[in-house]
Amino acid sequence: MPDRPDREALAATLARIVDHLLRGYSRVAEERVIQIADAAAVARLRLIGIPAAGRPLEEVVGEMLGEIYPQRARMDHPRCFAFIPGPVTPLSWIGDLLTAAHNPHAGSWLQSSGPSCIERELIGWLCAQAGFPRTAGGLFVSGGSVANLTALTIARDRMLDPECRATGVAYVSGQTHSSVAKALKIIGFLDRQIRRLPVDAAFRMDAGQLAQAIARDRAAGLTPFVVVATAGTTNTGSIDPLAEIARVCAEERLWMHVDGAYGASALLSPGHRGLLAGIERADSLSWDAHKWLFQTYGCGFVLLRDQRHLLDTFQTHPEYLRDAHTPDDAGNFWDLGPELTRPARALKLWLTLQVMGSSAIGEAIAHGFRLAEWAEDELASLPAWRIESPARMAIVNFRFAPHGFTEEALDAMNRGISRRAIEEGFAAVLTTQLNGRVVLRICAIHPDATEADMRETVRRLDGHAQAELTSMAR
């Protein structure tokens, strides 16, 4: 074995890292939201190379803390309103540290009975929050993409005979996350087998259009098998009409999967869980803790109305795993999903819930709703700004649209506003497209962001808009 740092060196390095992290956490709001490595920084990093002989630990850690990690988007910044941010509680860091240091193999009960017990209990609690029956189960995965892949694989196996897969049809909306189409492609479906349904004025799947599309496909000799509804779309936070979609699925005997990677967390806010009425009728649900449950990446999970379907699709019996039994017939976690070797992802969320309590998590989620409402309120007080999609699920979409400009010019102007905001560094606000137009989008879920943060961000965006007008007038 090569020489390893001794206990004293490790202790000193860990102390340095903890001090660095806590100081950074305490002043994160003072830092730029996004720091992109310039050419000089990239050149320095590329010159490091891989040494033949080892280097001092403190020197390498110093480079990581000072040169590598700073070159990133601070997704945990209170004013990071781009993408779906990842505001992280330090409790999740501690959970990550403990799990990494103990390094349990969370594939089987034999290898990790304690972590496996916690994962089972936490999955059971999450199923109860979704309103699933006692037959429900699931497992932690890396995130929404793998959760969707896992659920759609089960839907394929449950709803389609192998000889019918070439005629299978899946139904999504124009706002469904791209990971769904990717998952369908991975499990063998072609683009022509995916129906992208139009959305209504609130950017939700139209249940009437869904029923009509199913009827047309049946008449054409095809085999509809799954509908993917969304609880909290990435663009607008819209929630598809889950109860109506569930009714169509029941009548047509189709699998109903809900992509709740972002929005399912609203189930933990008593004042907002009613927005997800109908989710309890889903056959499967994807949900990310590294979004609105304040965990580090990657911490997602997939929930099934009937856990036995996981075993039916994923369980195998190789001879070298024969001794790894569970104390009941629930199956090891490596029997419930695509991974054999898997980390104990559940423990950091469990630790967070134990220390904070579910009520505090629910209040933090409710705060996100208020943040987007404050941004919308501030926008309403400014001329030439138009709300394209109102505040819902902590997301609001808006567009600077003064009179006298073409739609193309307004698109360019709104992209310019976003660029100026990123360059300034006070807040990160990016663009998306709605109804063919470029719009600005705020997703505000950080529990430390304030009303003042929201209103000042909007005022600065208006300042950037005036600068764009001046620039275009030259």
What the chain holds in terms of domains, given with CATH numbers, is 104-356 (3.40.640.10), 359-473 (3.90.1150.170)
pLDDT at residue 64 is higher than 50: yes
pLDDT at residue 329 is higher than 70: no
Average pLDDT of span 302-310 = 97
Q: Residues of 22-56 as b/e, b for ≥16 C-beta within 10 angstroms? A: eeeeeebbeebbbeeeeeeeeeeeeeeeeeeeeee
Amino acid letter for position 318: P
Instruction: Please spell the DSSP secondary structure of 175-240, one letter per residue.
Output: TS-HHHHHHHHHTT--GGGEEEE-B-TTS-B-HHHHHHHHHHHHHTT-EEEEEEEEBS-TTT--B-
Average pLDDT of span 415-419 = 98
CA atoms in the 13 A half-sphere facing the CB of 419: 8
Which residues lie closer than 8 Å to 165 by C-beta, 6 or more apart?
A: 156, 188, 189
CA atoms in the 13 A half-sphere facing the CB of 375: 38
Taking only the tens place, the pLDDT of each residue in 112-159 is 999 999 999 999 999 999 999 999 999 999 999 999 999 999 999 999
Which residues lie closer than 8 Å to 196 by C-beta, 6 or more apart?
A: 172, 173, 174, 176
> Cis ω on the peptide bond leading into residue 298 (within 30° of 0)?
yes
Average pLDDT of span 255-268 = 98
Token pair in block for residue 370: 């208020």
Find residue 173's DSSP bridge partners. 197
For the entire predicted model, the pTM comes to 0.96
pLDDT of residue 319: 66
Taking only the tens place, the pLDDT of each residue in 36-55 is 999 999 999 999 999 999 99
Higher pLDDT, 4 or 324: 4
Residue 304 — φ and ψ, nearest 5°? -120, 140
Which residues lie closer than 8 Å to 357 by C-beta, 6 or more apart?
A: none
Average pLDDT of span 86-106 = 97
pLDDT of residue 472: 83
Token pair in block for residue 250: 């029941």
pLDDT of residue 330: 66
Q: What is the largest CA-CA distance in the chain?
A: 76
pLDDT of residue 2: 52
The mean predicted confidence, pLDDT, of the chain is 96
pLDDT of residue 218: 98
Q: What is the DSSP letter of 435?
A: T
**Residues 108, 96: contact at Cβ < 8 Å?**
no
Taking only the tens place, the pLDDT of each residue in 169-199 is 999 999 999 999 999 999 999 999 999 999 9
Average pLDDT of span 362-383 = 98
Token pair in block for residue 395: 């997301």
Work out the angle at residue 245's Cα, subtended by the Cα atoms of residues 262 and 438, and round it to the nearest 5 degrees. Answer: 50
pLDDT of residue 325: 66
Find residue 239's DSSP bridge partners. 231
pLDDT of residue 1: 46
pLDDT at residue 286 is higher than 80: yes
